Structure 1
Amino acid sequence: MTDRGDDIRTAAIDWAIRLNDPGFGDWDGFLAWLESDPAHASAYDAVLAAGDATDPVLADTPTAKPVPTAPPPISPRVPIWRRQAAGGVLAAGIVAAIGVGYIHLRPAPFVVETGPGEHRTIVTGSATIALNGDTRLVLDHHDSHVATLDRGEALFDVRHDEAHPFAVRVGAGQVQDVGTRFDVIRDPAGTRVAVAEGMVVYNPRLEAVRLGPGQTLDSRDGAGEMRVARAATADIGSWRENRLSYRQAPLAIVAADLSRGLGVPIMAGPDVATQPFTGVIAYGGDKTRFLGGLGPLLDVGVKRDQVGWTLTRKADARL
């Protein structure tokens, strides 16, 4: 009976070889295989991690063993030891040729994207990642320890590995895991990070700001400064239950968060963008009904047009 672990490892090696082909195009199939079983991603990572040890990687791998063939007839003019040596060189050449494929695996980025109001969870060899609406995340088929958040929001639940720290590239910064669960938001204004468990380091090679459970960081692009505050750990990532919690948060941030979660364009006008809000917002259920009560909830006016919803001062409301 074939061992299931051997089957998974063989499949992982097959994917690694196929992905090294410049003409490879079955990214959907590969991602589906990774997501179908957590053991698949782990096996794929193990194959790549062993890539610099050419012979040991392939020595016990069925795909690496040359197919036995009948030996050619031995010519009396050629000593047998020379034929054995030539066979050894040929076998080594086959192993080396396959091994080179592992050593020179190039970065293979692929994009995971959600539409407005859509939630999605993916599992890689290093983390479980929950994506909020209107989010674009770039991952690497050959390195599950790095991700790039181009826009939107993602909650990372990382399986810590001291030898290979998990890193999220976001804007000009980077969030490095120290064994943790954390939320990252990237929007046109900048980057926000909130830690639910463990610890992260923001920009480890520059400011090296360490954040522990319940700490948040707000880094505005071009501002040259970062603000560290506190939040209830239970509220970090609560957007997955359609719930948002704020303490003196500018309405510009509240509007952006609601827009991402609801899938409806919502923005704060310049007259109320910095107005602070403290409270909990539950936005599940009927969107139209929720949006109809948004003005009283935030103590603002709400103006609707063909583009979306705009928060304004009460006197400017045009429903």
Structure 2
Amino acid sequence: MNIRAEPDQTAQVQREAQAWLRRLASGEATQRDVEGFRRWQEASELHARAFAEARRLWKALDPAIGQMMAAQPALLAEHRQAVQQTARRPVLARRAFLGAAVSAAGVAGVAAAVYPPFALWPSVSEWNADIRTATGEQRAVVLVDGVDLMLNTQTSVQRQTLDGRTVGIDLIAGETAVDISSAQQPFRVVAGAGRSEARAGRFEVRFLEGSACVTCIEGSVRVTHAMGARTLQAGQQVVYDAASIGGATGVQGADVSAWRTGVLVFRQTPLAHVVAEINRYRPGRVVLLARGLADRAVSGRFAIASLDTVLVQIQRSYDLSARSLPGGVLVLS
């Protein structure tokens, strides 16, 4: 039976939702704050609806945020400068930018902490990560004997434990490679709606914008999803999202793993996808305004350490004009 909330109660919950968002956007939110927010959100259907409404509002205001960024590039410059000056204190860098965004965009700036425009700072879910890599950073991690992880750029993970033992990770966002030399039990990676498990071998999981891609490099890996399960052998890959899982397809494992050696490999990849991938590794933002070239196929091996050189090559190959803006923003048109 559905019970309608009184108007006063609804208004109070909406105010609470806004208060939580302001706290999370302040740059001073702690692990306890995030846990408290989750408990509040899960307390009732009314609370969940209030959060959903905040999300809807943010999506509706997203174009306005983009216009604000374009009209006030100084905000981007302030953020990037703060990040450089406080590389060891990311909370302060977030606070500096969020303060400017909130004052400029009101509630939209607050909601931006949950759904950040241009991916300029981590989302709320990423704040709760045990380990997070910055733009362009790659990190080797050992969470359990016999299992080595390599986290790629802009990756957030949280440990999964059972009886005090680490048994896997939640891949909140980003990309990770898993090398298992010897494990007493299967090591698992949960990404979105799916779970990947293996006892030995090598596999990689990429989870971006709600879509996951699992690639088996060596050995075999079991991928479990509500819509079915797949067992991948070396050189096979599967893609899934919240609603479906595809079939296993053959891939070049060396191409998929090239990022581990500092290289990006593209084979007949649309230019828009190439730019999006570059944005994961390069500070700032590359904006492709030449929509007519978005589907133009690109092939090549590009060094991650020289992405600005790659952008110059792209600019010349497609006769694009480039305009540099503060904060590392490059507009190609």
TM-score (norm 2): 0.52
Q: Does 1:147 align with 2:169?
A: yes
- The 5-angstrom pairing of residues 7-26 of structure 1 reads none
Q: Tell me, yes or no, if the aligned pair for 2:193 and 2:225 is still in contact at 8 Å.
A: no
Number of residue pairs the alignment of both structures matches: 202
In the alignment, what sits opposite 1:196?
217
Q: CA offset at residue 264 of structure 1?
A: 4.0
Against the structure 1 CA distance between its residues 205 and 132, is the aligned structure 2 distance closer, same or farther, given a 3 Å change threshold?
same
In the alignment, structure 1 segments of 5+ residues that lack a partner are 1-24, 26-108, 312-316
- Contact 1:195–1:236, Cα closer than 8 Å, also in 2: no
Residue deviations 1:206-229 (CA, integer Å, cap 9, x gap): 42112211222233555x352643
Aligned twin of 2:151:
131
What displacement does 1:199 show? 1.2
Matched, 1:122 2:141: yes
The change in CA–CA distance for 1:254 and 1:219 in structure 2 (over 3 A counts) is farther
- Residue number in structure 1 paired with 2:206: 185
Matches within 5 A, 1:224-303: 224-226=244-246, 228-266=248-286, 271-285=292-306, 287-296=307-316
- Whichever residue aligns with residue 298 of structure 2, its letter is F
Give unpaired runs (5+ residues) of structure 2.
1-31, 33-127
Q: Is the Cα contact below 8 Å between 1:129 and 1:157 reproduced in 2?
A: yes
Contact 1:242 1:284 in 2 (8 A): yes
Residue type of the alignment partner of 1:123: V
- Mapped partners of 1:227, 1:271: distance in 2: 32
Q: Classify 1:118/1:189 alpha carbon distance in 2 versus 1 (closer, same or farther; 3 Å).
A: same
Cα distance in 2 for partners of 1:277, 1:111 equals 36
Counterpart residue identity of residue 212, structure 2: T
- Tell me how far apart the structure 2 counterparts of residues 296 and 227 of structure 1 sit (CA, whole Å): 39
Q: Which residue of 1 aligns with 2:229?
A: 208
Deviation sequence 1:3-60 (CA, Å, 0-9, x none): xxxxxxxxxxxxxxxxxxxxxx9xxxxxxxxxxxxxxxxxxxxxxxxxxxxxxxxxxx
Answer yes or no: is the 8 Å Cα contact 1:136–1:152 preserved in 2: yes
- 1:211-263 deviations in Å (ceiling 9; x for gaps): 211222233555x3526433323223211222112333344443333222334
CA distance in 1: counterparts of 2:151 and 2:130, whole angstroms: 12
Identity of aligned residues (%): 24
Q: Could you tell me whether the CA contact under 8 Å between 1:152 and 1:260 is conserved in 2?
A: no
C-alpha contact (below 8 Å) 1:139/1:146 kept by paired residues: yes
CA distance in 2, matches of 1:229, 1:279: 22
For 1:201 and 1:299, how far apart are their aligned partners in 2?
Answer: 46
Structure with larger Rg: 1
Measured in 1, the distance between the counterparts of 2:258 and 2:143 equals 22
Aligned mates of 2:240, 2:143 — CA distance in 1: 27
The answer to whether 1:219 aligns with 2:219 is: no
Higher helix share: 2
